[in-house]
Every structure is written in C-alpha cells, then in structure tokens.
Structure 1
Amino acid sequence: MASSTVTSSSTSPRPPRPNLVFRRLRGQRSPGEFAAAVRRAARDIGEQVSCDARYIGRVEAGEIRCPNYAYERVFLHMFPGRTLTDLGFAPRSTVRGRGARTTEGALPTRTTSPMSAPHETHGAHEPYDTYDTHDPHENDDQNNEESDVQRRAFMSGGTATVAAVSLGPLGLAFSGGGVAAAAAPSVRRAGEAEAGALEEAVRKIRLLDDRHGADGLYRRAAAPLRSAYALLDAGATRRATAERLHTGAGELAISVGWLAHDSGRFEDARSHYAEALATARVAGDPALEAHAFCNTSFLARDAGRPREAVRAAQAAQYAARPLGSARLMSLLSLREAGGWAGLADRTGCEQALARAQALYGRGPCDADPEWMSFYGDAELAGLEAQCWSTLGDWPRAAHQARRAARLQDPHFTRNIALYTAELADDLARAGHPDEAAAAGLRVLDLLDEVQSSRVQTMLAGTARVLLPHRRASGVSDFLERHGAMPRSA
C-alpha cells in the first residue's frame, strides 16, 4: 500500500490509490447489495453502521485508506481470518493522524458539537477516525447513527500514559509504584498494573452504583471508559495482559452502559452495550459477549422492544452455554422471560421463568462471573415480579416484589429502592392504595442516598395511579412528598 509519508502542505494531497482487493471481494454484487450485506453483518455483531453504495464506492476508489473502528469490526466479521491489509486497506499505523491538522501544528476548528459528529472525519482526536479524504461540504447523514458509538471509544490516546493519568475521576488511580511506572514517559505498552487498575475501575463503579444509583455516576464514569480504550490502543506487553485489557474494557463499557440505562439515557446505553459486544467479538470472549447481550436484552425490554429483548437473551444463552454457569443461564432465562412478557406471551414467559428457577436451584459454582454478585434470591424474585407486572397480574407481581425487597442484602440500597418502587406500583394497580402509599413513602426515604431515574420514573407512574385515591390513608402524604421531590436533570 501507499507510503506512510504525509506532506504538511495542504496544497499537495496524495492521489488515492484504488482498493482493488476490496473490489474483488465484492464480487458480482452491486455496491448497493454489498452495502446491505455490510449492514446485516453489523447487526449480527451488535454494531451500528449505515453503510450505503456511496461508502462502498469511496472505499474502492481508495478515498478511505483505513476504515473507522466500527467498520473494521464489521469487515473482519464478514471476512474472518483476514486483516485490514488483507482487505486492501493501509495499516492503521501508517495513516493515524492524517487530517488532524489544517496547517502544520494546528488543530482543525470544529464546526459542530462533538456530540453530533455529522461528518465521518474530524481529525485524529476523534475516537473512530476514518483517515479518509472526505469532502467537508458533503452531508454524510449515514454517520449520525454511528456517532454515539464512535464518541465512546476514545481510541486516540495512543499510550498507556494517557490512561494512567485519566483513570482517576472515581478514585481509580494505580496503587503503589504502578502510578509512577504508568506515567513514566518511556512507557508505550500496558502491563499488569494498568490491567489491574482497569479491573478495579469496574469494581468501583459497580460498588458505587449498588449503593447510590446511576444518575450521579454516569458522567464521572466517562473518563475511565475513555482510558480503557486508550489502553487497548496502546497495546500490551503480553498476550495474557491484552486479554485482560479487552475483557476489562468491555466490562467497563457494560458498566457505564448500565449507568446510562438506569439513568434513562437509553440511546447512550445502547451504544455502550454495542461497543462491549464488538469488543467481545474482536477478542473472542464468550463470557463478555453473553454479558453484553444480557444487558442489551434488559435495555430492549425497558425501551419497549420486547422482541429484540427475546432475541438478545437467546443470543446470550447461546454464547454462555459453554461457560458452565447455571446461575448465568438462569439470569439469561429471566431476561428472555421479560421479553416474552412484553410480547404478552404468557406461555413463553412462564416457560422461561420455570427454566430460570430450575437453573437457579442448581446453586452457585466457580464458573459464575464476578459481575453476577447482584444475582441472588432477591433479584430472582424482583425480575419475576417485573414479568407478572408486565402481564398485568398485579397480585402475583406484588407478592414477588415484596419478597424481593425483604430478601435484598442491605448493601444493595438501589435495589431495595427499586423493588419497593415495584411493590408500590403493583399494589396501586391491584387496588390497595393505602399499602401502595406506604411502600412509596419508604422509597422516598431511600432517595436521599439513591439517585436513579428508573426508580423515579416508577414512582411517578405510581403517583398518577394514586391520584384518584387521594383520600385513602397515607396517599395524600405520599403525593405531597412526591410532588415536592426535586427532579433529576
């Protein structure tokens, strides 16, 4: 492929070299047909791209010397066993930074918010730089769909030093000599200290979420996530370390995705989960893949896409089956049950619930993933309550929600608030306004230390149901306190 030499003159651009390899791979399919195949492959791995015939034409014309990371994962999925260079692209190392400066030493001026990212390339500091010769006057609407995923990855850090500096907003700095070692100018690849810090970041975020909920954590968790992908970009000193980094980055993306999910930012959560799934596929990590699909299913259910919830849960079970964890398979069956409930398929829901309970009854084992520490008797009851609630069986839902709140470990403050909010709503809809109000007041007491838009949304629904019952015992007190509660931004 072309030399890595890049002239600093903006008046002497290098002419693109056609990508004949990619053209041969397209075969007899038209650019539009091939673009459709790319989009299907993206959906297969949970990626979000809006490839069209024009994009394929630009690749074949050599205008896109190296695709962005989203497209890279899709192409490598379509042509397993091949590298980017096997597909006719230039190595990323030879094109990184192209377009980063409009004049020598000067960064380009952004004409849009980094949140909108309407163009494919904004310079080397973009997370998924395409390194192409894109005309800035073109309207690349196809990339709007990808921008959420793109801005999460932050692959531009380049060295472990960047990650070492920015793994700090949640108190996630390296311990002991790790800080100095990671910050040393000579460090170019990640080692055990960096992998350990990443794993600790995941644990810390999960611990804080268990106690306080997601709303106050989501923004703060963005920097560790950027750092995680900077570590991946830096590379690792050993293969075992690289595997830990991939798993850690994927788990962190899921954790941050959950913070977005629980705080009502569904599109952000979808992007984070897609990033985790792509990381799992690239790394060949079935445990991470199962986790990503598990959360994707839960999000789809909450977002009103029950059929997607069923499919994602089934995909998670397929990925998890070789892992040997009955508890994991139980949780994934519950995710599937939630999807069937959303489809009003009581039979499918009951079958999945029965399977979940049978698998749970086999007990814990060494193969159970660390992230499943939340999954116990209380969560089993809580998720079953949500299924019955979705099916409109309020008495049965209230029974399970009450069990969940009673069984929950006090450490999981957010879950206690969640289960009790579920109980309040089920009781209100079952025709027990006084009991519903009492449960709602208990939730309001917990909201001093728990920040969860999900819980607040549930309480708002309960308040609407209770409005006609204002004269019932305790209802007016609940409605007044709920009405005075500050709303999250």
Structure 2
Amino acid sequence: MDRRAFLSDTIGVAAGVSLPAHVRPLSPTGKSGSVGTAHLLELREGLRSLFQLDDAYGGGDVRSLATRHLRRIRRVINTGKYPETIGRQLQLLAGETAEHVAWLHYDADDQTAASAHWGEALTAATMLRDANLEILVFSGMSLQASHQGRARDGLDLARAARSRAAELGSPVLESITAAREARALSLMGDGSAANKALASAMHLVDRNGKGRPSPEWTAFHGHAELDYAQGLLYTELGHHHAATQFLRAALAHQDQNLGRNRALYRLTLARSLVEAGQVDEGAAHAVESIEHLEEVESGRVTRRLHEVSDLLRDADAATARQAAEELTEYAYARGAA
C-alpha cells in the first residue's frame, strides 16, 4: 500500500468507528462530564496505533498525528473531571506520548523538537517517579546524543537508563540500555568496552521471559536489532567485512512489519559492502532499497541514502556509478535531495 495514501486515509475518513484509534473521537463522558477507564483505554490505544504506523512508515508524516494525539491528551487532562487514580494514568500517558513524539522527530531528523518533547517526557517521569518512562526517555536521549556526535553524553544517559533497568529486573530493558551503551562506546573508539556491553546485551535478550515482563514498547528489540548494533560497532571500528556478516543477519531476521528498520538495514548493509570492496553487491542492495523507500518517510533513512549515494559515486565501477545515478534521481523525485 502507498504510504502517503494510507496516511491520508488515516486522517481523512469521516466515519468515526472506522478510524484508527489515534483519530477517533473519544466516547462521550459521563453525566457529570467525568473521564473514566474507557476513555483512558481509548487514548492508550491511540498511542499504540501510532507506534505501529511509525514502525511501518517512519517518523516523517506520523509525527503530526502523534502531536495531535498529545494535544488531545493534554486537553482531557486540563478540562476533564476524574479521580486521582485516573489522573495519574493520564499524566503517565501524556509523558509516554510526549516521548513518542520526541522519537518521531528524532527519526525525522528534527532534533530541536525532539529535545523539547524528551524534556517534557522526562518531567512527567520525574514527577510521577515512573522508572519505566525514565528508562524510555534516557534510552532515546542516548541515541540522539550519539547521533549528534555527543558520545560521552550518550554513554552517561545509557548508563543512567541501564541502572534503572537493573532495579526493575527486566532483562529486555537491560539489553536495550546495554546496546545503547555499546553504541556510545564504539563512537568513542573504545572497541573493547563496546564489545563487552554488546555481549551483555545479547546475553540479556536470551533471558526474555524471565524476571519482570518487559513493557510493550520493547517489542522491536531482539536478535535482529542486536545484529544490526554489532554491524554498526564493526563499522565504527573499520572492520567492514565483519560488519557485513551481521548486517546481512539483521536484514534477514528483521520483522516484515518494521518497514522503516528494513529500509535502514538494507542501506546500511549496502554502505558496508561498498566500504568492504564488494561494490557490485552493495550497488545491488542500494538499488533494491528504492522499493522499500517508497513506503518510508524517515530523516535517518534519507541521511543513510545520501551516504550510500556518495560512496557509490566515488567508487571505480560502472555498476556503482549507475546505482548512484538511480539513487540521486529517486532522491530528487521525492524532494529528498
């Protein structure tokens, strides 16, 4: 299905019952105008549907829908009547939604907006003393710091998240935060410590199902994600042949529903293949990625697309130059040049 048509339908369909959860009108409040559990569940289902859209299509277009959903939750908080127990859950949901809005802006490469929303989410986590939300926020901020060249900040944030995850006793949460730690360490050039952190992440993910159940937002994390992290680690260390092995495995085992990640993984594999001297295969993967890119709107993916195009353009092979031309034409056609 075409991504833009899908998102247009998501916003534009008039029949409320057929709308996705994040754009349906809320059920009427009680006689006293009170907000109850049913409304809370509807708002949470809205956030869940936004997670699914992000996984499939990336953060570019979805962030506007998520921002509107956050406004809806804020309106309910500020205008509704509800008991204290419902109020706390609404505040937590607002924090979780602000965090997801931050993530979507991060994925779209709008880092200023991402930082502002992560700040809002961290305020909610601190106010509510909710460790899970703190872990989620610190993990996201760690990725952003590493992405922006602030690897030391990324390491500190990852370790703060890992400390809280250990207190909760959730192996999957600990695995995610260990992988964030490994990413920052690799960017700092500490390959030994990065490998140790990533080995710990792999050990922890194998303990899934033991200890405290992991939150729903961790569903993306598994062996494919860690293979990708290992591939990035080897890339940072300059071991491109080793990187391709793990990136192949990551792409092969990635969930078909995670369209944005599949596009990112394929382009990253193409980049490593070219850097490893396997230019023809890298060019083939790069061109093959165009089909996936048609469905995705992600600043991170677009940035990787340009990296691969530049590498292919500089390679001394006819197939590489032809692939670079195809990628450049595609980028211009969609306004991503």
Q: Fold-level match, TM-score > 0.5?
A: yes
Q: Following superposition of structure 1 onto structure 2, how do residues 128-139 of structure 1 map, counting pairs within 5 Å?
A: none
Higher relative contact order (CA 8 A, sep 6+): 2
Who is 1:416 aligned against?
262
**Retained in 1: the 8 A contact 2:23–2:69?**
no
Who is 1:172 aligned against?
22
Who is 1:392 aligned against?
238
**Retained in 1: the 8 A contact 2:22–2:47?**
no
Q: Secondary structure at the match of 1:451?
A: coil
Superposed CA offset, 1:432-468 (max 9, x none):
1111111111211101111112111111111111113
Provide the C-alpha distance between the structure 2 equivalents of 1:235 and 1:180, rounded to a whole number of angstroms.
12
**Retained in 1: the 8 A contact 2:202–2:223?**
no
Provide the C-alpha distance between the structure 2 equivalents of 1:335 and 1:236, rounded to a whole number of angstroms.
40
Who is 1:76 aligned against?
none
Query: 2:335 aligned with 1:487, yes or no?
Result: yes
2:29 to 181, 184, 193: 181
**Retained in 1: the 8 A contact 2:183–2:194?**
yes
Offset at residue 233 of structure 1 (A):
3.1
Q: Secondary structure at the match of 2:194?
A: helix
Q: Following superposition of structure 1 onto structure 2, how do residues 151-162 of structure 1 map, counting pairs within 5 Å?
A: none
Deviates more, 1:330-339 or 1:250-259: 250-259
Provide the C-alpha distance between the structure 2 equivalents of 1:247 and 1:388, rounded to a whole number of angstroms.
38
Who is 2:55 aligned against?
210
TM-score in terms of structure 2 length:
0.88
Query: 2:318 aligned with 1:318, yes or no?
Result: no
Who is 1:77 aligned against?
none
Structure (1 or 2) with the larger CA radius of gyration: 1
Q: Secondary structure at the match of 1:180?
A: coil
Who is 1:458 aligned against?
304
Provide the C-alpha distance between the structure 1 equivalents of 2:149 and 2:76, rounded to a whole number of angstroms.
35
Provide the C-alpha distance between the structure 1 equivalents of 2:295 and 2:220, rounded to a whole number of angstroms.
19
Unaligned runs of 5+ in 2: 1-17
Provide the C-alpha distance between the structure 1 equivalents of 2:190 and 2:165, rounded to a whole number of angstroms.
24
Offset at residue 387 of structure 1 (A):
2.1
Q: Following superposition of structure 1 onto structure 2, how do residues 26-41 of structure 1 map, counting pairs within 5 Å?
A: none
Query: 2:273 aligned with 1:427, yes or no?
Result: yes
Q: Secondary structure at the match of 1:215?
A: helix
Provide the C-alpha distance between the structure 1 equivalents of 2:316 and 2:95, rounded to a whole number of angstroms.
48
**Retained in 2: the 8 A contact 1:413–1:450?**
yes
1:287 to 132, 138, 158: 132
Q: Following superposition of structure 1 onto structure 2, how do residues 137-286 of structure 1 map, counting pairs within 5 Å?
A: 171-173=21-23, 178-181=26-29, 186-187=32-33, 190-234=35-79, 237-286=82-131
Offset at residue 208 of structure 1 (A):
0.4
Offset at residue 470 of structure 1 (A):
5.5
Offset at residue 192 of structure 1 (A):
1.5
Superposed CA offset, 1:229-250 (max 9, x none):
2333346623332232122111
**Retained in 1: the 8 A contact 2:21–2:42?**
no
Q: Secondary structure at the match of 2:317?
A: coil
Provide the C-alpha distance between the structure 1 equivalents of 2:216 and 2:162, rounded to a whole number of angstroms.
17
Unaligned runs of 5+ in 1: 1-167
Provide the C-alpha distance between the structure 2 equivalents of 1:476 and 1:242, rounded to a whole number of angstroms.
58
Structure 1 vs Structure 2 CA RMSD: 2.1
**Retained in 2: the 8 A contact 1:170–1:220?**
no
Provide the C-alpha distance between the structure 2 equivalents of 1:244 and 1:232, rounded to a whole number of angstroms.
10
Query: 2:209 aligned with 1:364, yes or no?
Result: yes
Superposed CA offset, 1:10-43 (max 9, x none):
xxxxxxxxxxxxxxxxxxxxxxxxxxxxxxxxxx
Superposed CA offset, 1:384-413 (max 9, x none):
222222222212222111111000111111
Offset at residue 201 of structure 1 (A):
1.8
Aligned residue type for 1:384 = Q
Provide the C-alpha distance between the structure 2 equivalents of 1:438 and 1:249, rounded to a whole number of angstroms.
44
More helix by share: 2
Provide the C-alpha distance between the structure 2 equivalents of 1:229 and 1:319, rounded to a whole number of angstroms.
27
Offset at residue 274 of structure 1 (A):
1.5
**Retained in 2: the 8 A contact 1:421–1:458?**
yes
With over 3 angstroms needed to count, the CA separation of the structure-2 counterparts of 1:234 and 1:319, relative to structure 1, is farther
TM-score in terms of structure 1 length:
0.61
**Retained in 1: the 8 A contact 2:141–2:157?**
yes
**Retained in 2: the 8 A contact 1:329–1:356?**
yes
Offset at residue 331 of structure 1 (A):
0.8
Aligned length: 316
